[in-house]
Amino acid sequence: MSDPIRVGFLRGIVMRAPSITGTTDFYTELWGLKVARSAEGVTYLRGTGEEPFIYGLKDGDSYGIEYVHFGMDDRAEMDALYDHVTAKGAQTLGKPAVFDDPIGGYGFEVLDPDHRRLRFTTDLEMKAQVDEYAYPRKVSHVVLNTPDMDGLEKWYQDILGFRTSDYSADMMVFMRCNRDHHSIALVRAQYPSVNHVAFEMPDLDSFMRGIGRMKQKGQVPSWGPGRHGPGNNPFAYFVSPSGFVIEFTAELQQIDEETHEAKVWSRTDPDSMDRWMTAGPPTPAQRAVMAGRPDAGFPDLAKA
């Protein structure tokens, strides 16, 4: 029996907002990223890991996700994934090819049921990893709001091979494509939008020092620090200048595929929401900003 076709790993995300490239200094001087590439209306930022970029800023007329970026190990796996998703009836935006942009790479794009663009690449020009204390290494996970959490969970399972790691009551599902407890999480919501993007620090000391760096520069967490139940990862949330929620995290749970069973975590037990009992529940203001602004995605492409 052949192995199932699955997405390899999360690379990062590109966000879209009016004049968002004008906020680059926030990410380089405070958050701890470095400019990797830039072009007219777009800036690509890298962490200390090997990825050529992990977070992109693209100027646009609306607020939302330009694309979520995933990786595959080689062209053979990429072509196999493309054949799989097209056989399943997913909306692709062209056959695998080399992307003509500053990042490049070989791959293709697909729209999920909420019309989010997902990009898959291989053959990128990887960078040497840098051991730099208290600076983000990679994007740990992306959390998406959706009006059809159950349907989208099934789509990520059937089309992209994600596995469900845990649930937060009936309001949130955590999904993995590799051993990381979750690379994608879905939140039941009124409309599609981005909930938050989490950046992985090398260890717990780096996590706390990153919070300290932000506080020294006048930026305090909007929620946290604390430690989540699902994923067992520490969290500290901030709000970017464009109004997107971003998170420092570390030590995300690594899944043993042979033994792990998905668990339903309570949303009313404080210890399930914050195992350290330091952060408390999110405030109404925090919940509002994590609800995000409605993101129509790519409706014109979806109808093509």
Considering the entire predicted model, what is its pTM?
0.96
Superfamily of domain 9-122: 2,3-Dihydroxybiphenyl 1,2-Dioxygenase, domain 1 (3.10.180.10)
pLDDT (tens digit, 9 = 90+) per residue, 34-73?
999 999 999 999 999 999 999 999 999 999 999 999 999 9
DSSP-assigned letters across all residues of 104-122: --EEEEEE-TT--EEEEEE
CA distance 142 to 41: 23
Overall residue count recorded for the chain in this entry: 304
Band (pLDDT 50/70/90 cuts) for residue 4 is confident
Backbone phi, psi, residue 176, to 5°: -120, 150
Residue 285 is which amino acid? A
Q: Which amino acid is at 183?
A: S
DSSP H helices in the chain: 24-25, 75-87, 149-160, 204-216, 270-273, 284-291, 299-303
CA dist 228 → 163, 176, 231, 258, 271 (Å):
20, 16, 7, 23, 9
Say if residue 154's pLDDT is above 80.
yes
Say whether pLDDT at 131 is over 90.
no
> What would the mean pLDDT of 191-205 be, rounded to a whole number?
98
Question: Does 9-122 match 138-291 in CATH topology?
Answer: yes
User: What are the backbone angles phi and psi of residue 194, rounded to the nearest 5°?
Assistant: -90, 135
Q: What is the pLDDT of residues 156-167, one digit of tens each?
A: 999 999 999 999
- φ, ψ dihedrals at 21, nearest 5°: -65, -20
Q: Which two tokens stand for residue 301?
A: 């492409």
At 215-251, the pLDDT tens digits run: 999 999 999 999 999 999 999 999 999 999 999 999 9
pLDDT band, very low/low/confident/very high, at 271 (cuts 50, 70, 90): confident
In our burial notation (b when 16+ CB lie closer than 10 A, e otherwise), range 22-45 reads ebbebbeebbbbeebbeeeebbbb
Residue 301 is predicted with a pLDDT of: 41
What was the pLDDT predicted at 11? Answer: 98
Q: Give the pLDDT score at 303.
A: 39
Identify the pLDDT of residue 302: 40
Q: Residue 206: CB partners within 8 Å, gap ≥ 6?
A: 133, 134, 135, 250
pLDDT for residue 2? 59
pLDDT score at 272: 86
Sheet containing 193-200: which strands, arranged edge to edge? 223-227, 234-239, 245-249, 193-200, 138-146, 184-188, 172-176, 163-168, 263-265
CATH architecture, domain 138-291: Roll (3.10)
Each residue of 82-120: pLDDT tens digit? 999 999 999 999 999 999 999 999 999 999 999 999 999
* Percent of the chain topping pLDDT 70: 97
pLDDT > 70? residue 299: no
Q: Is a pLDDT exceeding 80 seen at residue 3?
A: no
- The chain-wide mean pLDDT, for the chain, equals 95
Domain boundaries of the chain, sorted by first residue: 9-122, 138-291
pLDDT of residue 72: 98
